[in-house]
Structure 1
Amino acid sequence: MKALGALNQFSLLEGRADELRLSSDAVTIINAPANHPDKIEALNRVAFSPSLFAEVQEAYGSNIPSDANLKYFFVKKGIPSKSTLAAVKAFRETIEFLEREGTSPIREDELEKNGGEASNVRQELETENLENVGPSEQTIGNIFSPRTQMSAPHQTSGEEFKTRVGPETFARVFFEGPVTQIAIQKLIDYLEFSKDMYPLNVEDKD
Protein backbone atom coordinates (compact mmCIF):
# COMPACT_ATOMS: atom_id res chain seq x y z
CA MET A 1 0.00 0.00 0.00
CA LYS A 2 2.88 2.38 0.76
CA ALA A 3 4.39 1.87 -2.70
CA LEU A 4 1.08 2.15 -4.50
CA GLY A 5 0.19 5.24 -2.52
CA ALA A 6 3.40 7.09 -3.36
CA LEU A 7 2.16 8.59 -6.62
CA ASN A 8 -1.05 9.68 -4.91
CA GLN A 9 1.16 12.05 -2.93
CA PHE A 10 2.54 13.30 -6.24
CA SER A 11 -0.99 14.48 -7.18
CA LEU A 12 -0.72 12.53 -10.45
CA LEU A 13 -2.74 9.49 -9.39
CA GLU A 14 -5.72 9.07 -7.11
CA GLY A 15 -7.95 6.31 -5.81
CA ARG A 16 -7.44 3.06 -3.93
CA ALA A 17 -4.64 0.60 -4.63
CA ASP A 18 -6.95 -1.65 -6.65
CA GLU A 19 -8.50 1.26 -8.53
CA LEU A 20 -5.76 3.78 -9.27
CA ARG A 21 -6.44 6.34 -11.98
CA LEU A 22 -4.93 9.56 -13.27
CA SER A 23 -5.83 12.53 -11.12
CA SER A 24 -7.84 15.38 -12.57
CA ASP A 25 -4.72 17.55 -12.47
CA ALA A 26 -2.73 14.96 -14.43
CA VAL A 27 -5.49 14.72 -17.04
CA THR A 28 -5.58 18.51 -17.32
CA ILE A 29 -1.79 18.77 -17.69
CA ILE A 30 -1.77 16.16 -20.45
CA ASN A 31 -4.76 17.41 -22.44
CA ALA A 32 -5.20 21.16 -21.92
CA PRO A 33 -3.59 23.61 -24.40
CA ALA A 34 -0.21 24.97 -23.37
CA ASN A 35 -1.31 28.37 -22.10
CA HIS A 36 -4.76 27.46 -20.84
CA PRO A 37 -5.41 28.79 -17.30
CA ASP A 38 -6.62 25.35 -16.14
CA LYS A 39 -3.32 23.78 -17.21
CA ILE A 40 -1.24 26.45 -15.49
CA GLU A 41 -3.22 26.03 -12.26
CA ALA A 42 -2.84 22.23 -12.41
CA LEU A 43 0.90 22.53 -13.06
CA ASN A 44 1.30 24.78 -10.04
CA ARG A 45 -0.62 22.40 -7.78
CA VAL A 46 1.40 19.37 -8.88
CA ALA A 47 4.70 21.24 -8.92
CA PHE A 48 4.47 22.17 -5.28
CA SER A 49 3.27 18.79 -4.04
CA PRO A 50 5.94 18.42 -1.33
CA SER A 51 6.97 14.80 -1.85
CA LEU A 52 7.12 14.80 -5.66
CA PHE A 53 10.53 16.29 -6.33
CA ALA A 54 11.96 15.11 -3.02
CA GLU A 55 11.31 11.48 -4.00
CA VAL A 56 12.77 11.91 -7.48
CA GLN A 57 15.83 13.76 -6.19
CA GLU A 58 16.41 11.12 -3.52
CA ALA A 59 16.45 8.45 -6.24
CA TYR A 60 18.49 10.28 -8.89
CA GLY A 61 20.44 13.00 -7.12
CA SER A 62 20.56 16.50 -8.61
CA ASN A 63 20.11 15.32 -12.22
CA ILE A 64 16.66 15.54 -13.75
CA PRO A 65 16.11 11.94 -14.91
CA SER A 66 15.32 10.89 -18.46
CA ASP A 67 11.81 9.82 -19.45
CA ALA A 68 12.94 6.17 -19.43
CA ASN A 69 14.31 6.50 -15.90
CA LEU A 70 11.15 8.27 -14.72
CA LYS A 71 9.02 5.45 -16.12
CA TYR A 72 11.17 2.90 -14.31
CA PHE A 73 10.99 4.98 -11.11
CA PHE A 74 7.18 5.03 -11.22
CA VAL A 75 7.01 1.29 -12.01
CA LYS A 76 9.24 0.52 -9.01
CA LYS A 77 6.81 2.52 -6.88
CA GLY A 78 4.10 0.05 -7.88
CA ILE A 79 2.30 2.19 -10.46
CA PRO A 80 0.40 0.14 -13.09
CA SER A 81 2.35 0.06 -16.36
CA LYS A 82 -0.61 1.41 -18.32
CA SER A 83 -0.40 4.63 -16.30
CA THR A 84 3.35 5.24 -16.32
CA LEU A 85 3.68 6.95 -19.71
CA ALA A 86 0.95 9.42 -18.83
CA ALA A 87 2.51 10.01 -15.40
CA VAL A 88 5.92 10.65 -16.99
CA LYS A 89 4.39 13.10 -19.46
CA ALA A 90 2.65 15.00 -16.67
CA PHE A 91 5.85 15.10 -14.62
CA ARG A 92 7.93 16.26 -17.59
CA GLU A 93 5.51 19.06 -18.44
CA THR A 94 5.60 20.16 -14.80
CA ILE A 95 9.41 20.30 -14.85
CA GLU A 96 9.43 22.27 -18.11
CA PHE A 97 6.85 24.68 -16.72
CA LEU A 98 8.92 25.33 -13.62
CA GLU A 99 12.09 25.80 -15.65
CA ARG A 100 10.35 28.40 -17.80
CA GLU A 101 9.25 30.14 -14.61
CA GLY A 102 12.75 29.88 -13.17
CA THR A 103 11.58 27.98 -10.09
CA SER A 104 12.63 24.38 -10.78
CA PRO A 105 12.63 22.54 -7.43
CA ILE A 106 15.35 20.11 -8.56
CA ARG A 107 18.69 21.68 -7.79
CA GLU A 108 21.00 21.32 -10.78
CA ASP A 109 23.82 23.42 -9.32
CA GLU A 110 24.83 21.00 -6.59
CA LEU A 111 26.89 17.83 -6.75
CA GLU A 112 25.10 14.50 -6.62
CA LYS A 113 24.48 13.42 -3.06
CA ASN A 114 23.01 10.00 -3.71
CA GLY A 115 25.65 7.30 -3.49
CA GLY A 116 23.34 4.60 -4.88
CA GLU A 117 23.84 2.93 -8.22
CA ALA A 118 20.89 4.76 -9.76
CA SER A 119 22.79 8.05 -9.73
CA ASN A 120 26.03 6.46 -10.96
CA VAL A 121 24.73 4.92 -14.14
CA ARG A 122 23.55 7.24 -16.92
CA GLN A 123 21.87 5.46 -19.81
CA GLU A 124 21.85 7.49 -23.02
CA LEU A 125 18.49 6.43 -24.39
CA GLU A 126 17.22 8.21 -27.50
CA THR A 127 13.44 8.35 -27.16
CA GLU A 128 10.71 10.02 -29.16
CA ASN A 129 8.34 12.57 -27.65
CA LEU A 130 5.87 10.83 -25.36
CA GLU A 131 3.02 12.49 -27.22
CA ASN A 132 3.83 10.10 -30.07
CA VAL A 133 4.40 7.19 -27.64
CA GLY A 134 6.25 4.65 -29.73
CA PRO A 135 9.99 4.53 -29.29
CA SER A 136 12.35 4.96 -32.21
CA GLU A 137 13.78 1.83 -33.81
CA GLN A 138 17.19 3.34 -33.10
CA THR A 139 16.78 3.36 -29.31
CA ILE A 140 18.59 0.72 -27.31
CA GLY A 141 15.73 -1.48 -26.08
CA ASN A 142 17.11 -4.97 -25.54
CA ILE A 143 20.58 -4.73 -27.01
CA PHE A 144 23.15 -5.13 -24.24
CA SER A 145 23.83 -8.70 -23.14
CA PRO A 146 25.91 -9.61 -20.08
CA ARG A 147 28.69 -10.69 -22.43
CA THR A 148 28.78 -7.30 -24.11
CA GLN A 149 28.83 -5.44 -20.81
CA MET A 150 31.61 -7.54 -19.31
CA SER A 151 33.92 -7.12 -22.29
CA ALA A 152 35.63 -4.11 -20.71
CA PRO A 153 36.34 -4.90 -17.02
CA HIS A 154 37.81 -2.58 -14.41
CA GLN A 155 36.53 0.57 -16.09
CA THR A 156 36.46 3.78 -14.11
CA SER A 157 34.49 7.01 -14.13
CA GLY A 158 33.63 8.45 -17.52
CA GLU A 159 33.91 5.21 -19.52
CA GLU A 160 31.71 4.68 -22.57
CA PHE A 161 30.56 1.45 -24.21
CA LYS A 162 29.52 1.45 -27.85
CA THR A 163 28.47 -1.47 -30.03
CA ARG A 164 26.61 -2.22 -33.26
CA VAL A 165 23.27 -3.90 -32.56
CA GLY A 166 21.84 -3.95 -36.07
CA PRO A 167 22.70 -3.14 -39.70
CA GLU A 168 21.96 0.55 -39.12
CA THR A 169 21.71 0.69 -35.32
CA PHE A 170 24.34 1.47 -32.73
CA ALA A 171 24.00 1.57 -28.95
CA ARG A 172 26.01 3.61 -26.50
CA VAL A 173 26.10 3.60 -22.69
CA PHE A 174 28.03 6.10 -20.63
CA PHE A 175 28.94 5.29 -17.03
CA GLU A 176 29.40 8.18 -14.61
CA GLY A 177 31.07 6.97 -11.45
CA PRO A 178 32.74 3.66 -10.53
CA VAL A 179 31.82 0.82 -12.90
CA THR A 180 31.08 -2.34 -10.94
CA GLN A 181 29.52 -5.68 -11.77
CA ILE A 182 26.54 -4.67 -9.65
CA ALA A 183 26.07 -1.46 -11.65
CA ILE A 184 26.33 -3.38 -14.93
CA GLN A 185 23.83 -6.00 -13.77
CA LYS A 186 21.37 -3.29 -12.74
CA LEU A 187 21.64 -1.78 -16.21
CA ILE A 188 21.09 -5.20 -17.79
CA ASP A 189 18.04 -5.76 -15.58
CA TYR A 190 16.68 -2.34 -16.51
CA LEU A 191 17.06 -2.99 -20.24
CA GLU A 192 15.50 -6.42 -19.89
CA PHE A 193 12.56 -4.86 -18.06
CA SER A 194 12.16 -2.11 -20.68
CA LYS A 195 12.47 -4.15 -23.87
CA ASP A 196 8.72 -4.78 -24.17
CA MET A 197 8.30 -1.06 -24.92
CA TYR A 198 9.93 -1.59 -28.31
CA PRO A 199 8.95 -3.53 -31.47
CA LEU A 200 10.55 -6.94 -32.01
CA ASN A 201 11.79 -5.85 -35.45
CA VAL A 202 11.90 -2.57 -37.36
CA GLU A 203 9.26 -4.01 -39.67
CA ASP A 204 6.88 -4.42 -36.72
CA LYS A 205 6.70 -0.68 -36.08
CA ASP A 206 3.61 1.03 -37.47
Structure 2
Amino acid sequence: MSLGPALEAIRPAFAKENRNKMSRTVLAKHLGYSSLNGRALGRIGAVRAYGLIEGGGDELRISDDAVAALNAPNGSTERTAALGRLANKPSLFQELSKEFETVPSVDNLKFTLIKKGFTAEAAEKAAKSYLATFNLVGGIQDEYNPPEEEDEADMSQAIQQSAELSRALNKPLDSIQKPIQEVFNLPEGTVTITFPKQLSMESYQDLEDQLSLLLRRVKRQANKDDEAAN
Protein backbone atom coordinates (compact mmCIF):
# COMPACT_ATOMS: atom_id res chain seq x y z
CA MET A 1 0.00 0.00 0.00
CA SER A 2 1.40 3.36 -1.01
CA LEU A 3 0.56 6.61 0.77
CA GLY A 4 -2.44 7.49 -1.42
CA PRO A 5 -4.48 4.33 -0.68
CA ALA A 6 -3.38 4.52 2.97
CA LEU A 7 -4.86 8.02 3.24
CA GLU A 8 -8.11 6.87 1.66
CA ALA A 9 -8.20 3.90 4.04
CA ILE A 10 -8.28 6.17 7.10
CA ARG A 11 -10.71 8.71 5.63
CA PRO A 12 -13.78 6.91 7.10
CA ALA A 13 -12.10 6.85 10.52
CA PHE A 14 -11.53 10.61 10.38
CA ALA A 15 -15.10 11.20 9.18
CA LYS A 16 -16.52 9.23 12.12
CA GLU A 17 -14.05 10.04 14.90
CA ASN A 18 -12.27 13.26 13.89
CA ARG A 19 -9.36 13.46 16.40
CA ASN A 20 -11.04 11.36 19.09
CA LYS A 21 -9.14 8.47 20.64
CA MET A 22 -10.26 5.03 19.49
CA SER A 23 -9.40 1.41 20.16
CA ARG A 24 -7.78 -0.89 17.62
CA THR A 25 -11.08 -2.73 17.27
CA VAL A 26 -12.93 0.49 16.41
CA LEU A 27 -10.20 1.52 13.97
CA ALA A 28 -10.34 -1.91 12.33
CA LYS A 29 -14.09 -1.45 11.75
CA HIS A 30 -13.51 1.97 10.19
CA LEU A 31 -10.94 0.30 7.93
CA GLY A 32 -13.57 -2.16 6.75
CA TYR A 33 -13.00 -5.19 8.98
CA SER A 34 -15.58 -6.85 11.21
CA SER A 35 -13.03 -7.87 13.83
CA LEU A 36 -9.42 -7.32 14.86
CA ASN A 37 -8.04 -10.18 12.77
CA GLY A 38 -4.66 -10.64 11.10
CA ARG A 39 -5.61 -8.69 7.97
CA ALA A 40 -6.96 -5.83 10.10
CA LEU A 41 -3.72 -5.68 12.08
CA GLY A 42 -1.79 -5.67 8.81
CA ARG A 43 -3.79 -2.69 7.57
CA ILE A 44 -3.37 -0.88 10.90
CA GLY A 45 0.38 -1.51 10.67
CA ALA A 46 0.38 -0.07 7.16
CA VAL A 47 -1.30 3.21 8.08
CA ARG A 48 0.80 3.43 11.24
CA ALA A 49 4.00 3.08 9.20
CA TYR A 50 3.13 6.30 7.34
CA GLY A 51 2.35 8.16 10.57
CA LEU A 52 -1.35 8.46 9.70
CA ILE A 53 -2.32 7.32 13.18
CA GLU A 54 -0.57 8.02 16.46
CA GLY A 55 -0.73 6.62 19.96
CA GLY A 56 -0.60 3.02 21.08
CA GLY A 57 -2.74 0.17 22.31
CA ASP A 58 -6.38 1.22 22.43
CA GLU A 59 -5.67 4.96 22.44
CA LEU A 60 -5.16 5.63 18.74
CA ARG A 61 -6.06 8.81 16.89
CA ILE A 62 -5.65 10.36 13.45
CA SER A 63 -2.40 12.36 13.29
CA ASP A 64 -2.14 16.09 12.53
CA ASP A 65 -0.34 15.41 9.25
CA ALA A 66 -3.05 12.96 8.20
CA VAL A 67 -5.72 15.59 8.92
CA ALA A 68 -3.82 18.14 6.80
CA ALA A 69 -3.27 15.68 3.95
CA LEU A 70 -6.96 14.71 3.92
CA ASN A 71 -8.41 18.21 4.21
CA ALA A 72 -6.03 20.87 2.91
CA PRO A 73 -6.66 21.98 -0.71
CA ASN A 74 -4.73 20.16 -3.42
CA GLY A 75 -1.51 22.00 -4.20
CA SER A 76 -1.57 23.99 -0.97
CA THR A 77 1.62 24.44 1.03
CA GLU A 78 0.04 22.74 4.05
CA ARG A 79 -0.96 19.61 2.14
CA THR A 80 2.32 19.33 0.25
CA ALA A 81 4.34 19.67 3.47
CA ALA A 82 2.18 17.10 5.28
CA LEU A 83 2.46 14.63 2.39
CA GLY A 84 6.23 15.05 2.39
CA ARG A 85 6.50 14.27 6.09
CA LEU A 86 4.17 11.28 5.83
CA ALA A 87 6.01 9.90 2.79
CA ASN A 88 9.28 9.88 4.71
CA LYS A 89 7.91 8.16 7.81
CA PRO A 90 8.74 4.57 6.76
CA SER A 91 12.39 3.99 7.62
CA LEU A 92 12.97 2.20 4.32
CA PHE A 93 11.72 5.23 2.39
CA GLN A 94 13.98 7.52 4.42
CA GLU A 95 16.93 5.34 3.48
CA LEU A 96 16.05 5.31 -0.22
CA SER A 97 15.48 9.08 -0.31
CA LYS A 98 19.01 9.62 1.02
CA GLU A 99 20.45 7.26 -1.57
CA PHE A 100 18.84 8.86 -4.66
CA GLU A 101 19.03 12.58 -5.44
CA THR A 102 15.97 12.37 -7.72
CA VAL A 103 13.14 9.85 -8.06
CA PRO A 104 14.71 6.74 -9.64
CA SER A 105 13.19 4.25 -12.06
CA VAL A 106 11.41 1.19 -10.71
CA ASP A 107 14.12 -1.09 -12.13
CA ASN A 108 16.85 0.95 -10.45
CA LEU A 109 15.02 0.78 -7.13
CA LYS A 110 14.42 -2.96 -7.42
CA PHE A 111 18.09 -3.63 -8.15
CA THR A 112 19.18 -1.45 -5.23
CA LEU A 113 16.88 -3.30 -2.83
CA ILE A 114 17.93 -6.72 -4.11
CA LYS A 115 21.57 -5.77 -3.50
CA LYS A 116 20.58 -4.98 0.09
CA GLY A 117 19.29 -8.52 0.50
CA PHE A 118 15.59 -8.20 -0.36
CA THR A 119 13.86 -10.94 -2.32
CA ALA A 120 12.84 -10.01 -5.86
CA GLU A 121 9.16 -10.02 -4.88
CA ALA A 122 9.66 -7.84 -1.79
CA ALA A 123 11.92 -5.47 -3.76
CA GLU A 124 9.31 -4.99 -6.48
CA LYS A 125 6.51 -4.28 -4.00
CA ALA A 126 8.61 -1.85 -1.97
CA ALA A 127 9.86 -0.09 -5.11
CA LYS A 128 6.34 0.41 -6.48
CA SER A 129 5.03 1.65 -3.13
CA TYR A 130 7.94 4.10 -2.87
CA LEU A 131 7.41 5.49 -6.38
CA ALA A 132 3.63 5.76 -5.97
CA THR A 133 4.10 7.58 -2.68
CA PHE A 134 6.59 10.15 -3.96
CA ASN A 135 4.63 10.64 -7.19
CA LEU A 136 1.72 11.63 -4.95
CA VAL A 137 3.92 14.10 -3.06
CA GLY A 138 5.06 15.60 -6.37
CA GLY A 139 1.55 15.73 -7.82
CA ILE A 140 2.37 13.19 -10.54
CA GLN A 141 -0.16 10.69 -11.87
CA ASP A 142 0.31 7.49 -9.87
CA GLU A 143 1.07 4.54 -12.15
CA TYR A 144 2.74 2.29 -9.61
CA ASN A 145 -0.06 1.39 -7.20
CA PRO A 146 -0.24 -2.38 -6.67
CA PRO A 147 -3.57 -4.24 -7.03
CA GLU A 148 -5.98 -3.61 -4.16
CA GLU A 149 -5.86 -7.20 -2.94
CA GLU A 150 -2.12 -6.91 -2.31
CA ASP A 151 -2.40 -3.87 -0.03
CA GLU A 152 -1.88 -5.48 3.38
CA ALA A 153 0.88 -7.82 2.24
CA ASP A 154 2.55 -4.99 0.36
CA MET A 155 3.11 -2.78 3.36
CA SER A 156 3.51 -5.37 6.08
CA GLN A 157 5.96 -7.50 4.09
CA ALA A 158 7.67 -5.19 1.63
CA ILE A 159 8.05 -2.12 3.84
CA GLN A 160 7.97 -3.16 7.48
CA GLN A 161 9.76 -6.50 7.22
CA SER A 162 12.13 -5.36 4.48
CA ALA A 163 13.00 -2.24 6.44
CA GLU A 164 13.96 -4.38 9.42
CA LEU A 165 16.08 -6.56 7.13
CA SER A 166 17.73 -3.48 5.67
CA ARG A 167 18.64 -2.11 9.09
CA ALA A 168 20.04 -5.49 10.12
CA LEU A 169 22.13 -5.79 6.96
CA ASN A 170 23.56 -2.29 7.40
CA LYS A 171 24.42 -2.81 11.07
CA PRO A 172 28.00 -3.84 11.99
CA LEU A 173 28.16 -7.47 13.05
CA ASP A 174 29.70 -6.63 16.42
CA SER A 175 26.78 -4.31 17.23
CA ILE A 176 24.06 -6.93 16.69
CA GLN A 177 22.80 -7.98 20.11
CA LYS A 178 21.50 -11.40 20.99
CA PRO A 179 17.72 -11.57 21.34
CA ILE A 180 16.00 -11.93 24.70
CA GLN A 181 14.33 -15.25 25.35
CA GLU A 182 11.64 -15.64 28.00
CA VAL A 183 10.76 -19.21 29.00
CA PHE A 184 8.03 -20.29 31.41
CA ASN A 185 6.32 -23.58 32.14
CA LEU A 186 2.66 -24.51 32.01
CA PRO A 187 1.14 -27.86 33.03
CA GLU A 188 0.77 -28.70 29.33
CA GLY A 189 4.34 -27.78 28.38
CA THR A 190 6.92 -25.02 27.94
CA VAL A 191 6.22 -21.60 26.39
CA THR A 192 9.13 -19.73 24.78
CA ILE A 193 9.03 -16.13 23.53
CA THR A 194 12.02 -14.64 21.71
CA PHE A 195 12.30 -10.96 20.78
CA PRO A 196 15.06 -8.42 19.95
CA LYS A 197 16.83 -6.77 22.86
CA GLN A 198 16.20 -3.33 21.38
CA LEU A 199 12.79 -2.36 19.97
CA SER A 200 11.53 0.93 18.62
CA MET A 201 8.21 2.16 20.00
CA GLU A 202 6.62 1.41 16.63
CA SER A 203 7.95 -2.17 16.71
CA TYR A 204 6.75 -2.57 20.29
CA GLN A 205 3.24 -1.54 19.27
CA ASP A 206 3.30 -4.01 16.37
CA LEU A 207 4.48 -6.74 18.76
CA GLU A 208 1.70 -5.87 21.19
CA ASP A 209 -0.89 -6.15 18.41
CA GLN A 210 0.41 -9.52 17.25
CA LEU A 211 0.58 -10.94 20.78
CA SER A 212 -2.99 -9.80 21.45
CA LEU A 213 -4.14 -11.61 18.32
CA LEU A 214 -2.18 -14.73 19.30
CA LEU A 215 -3.69 -14.78 22.81
CA ARG A 216 -7.21 -14.58 21.39
CA ARG A 217 -6.51 -17.57 19.14
CA VAL A 218 -5.04 -19.51 22.06
CA LYS A 219 -8.07 -18.67 24.21
CA ARG A 220 -10.47 -19.91 21.54
CA GLN A 221 -8.53 -23.16 21.27
CA ALA A 222 -8.47 -23.55 25.06
CA ASN A 223 -12.25 -23.09 25.19
CA LYS A 224 -12.70 -25.76 22.50
CA ASP A 225 -10.41 -28.14 24.39
CA ASP A 226 -12.37 -27.61 27.62
CA GLU A 227 -15.68 -28.20 25.85
CA ALA A 228 -14.34 -31.38 24.26
CA ALA A 229 -13.05 -32.62 27.62
CA ASN A 230 -16.44 -32.05 29.23
- Same fold, TM exceeding 0.5? no
TM-score by length of 2: 0.26
More contact order relative to length (CA 8 Å, sep ≥ 6): 2
Structure ranking higher in helix proportion = 2
Pair member with larger Rg: 2
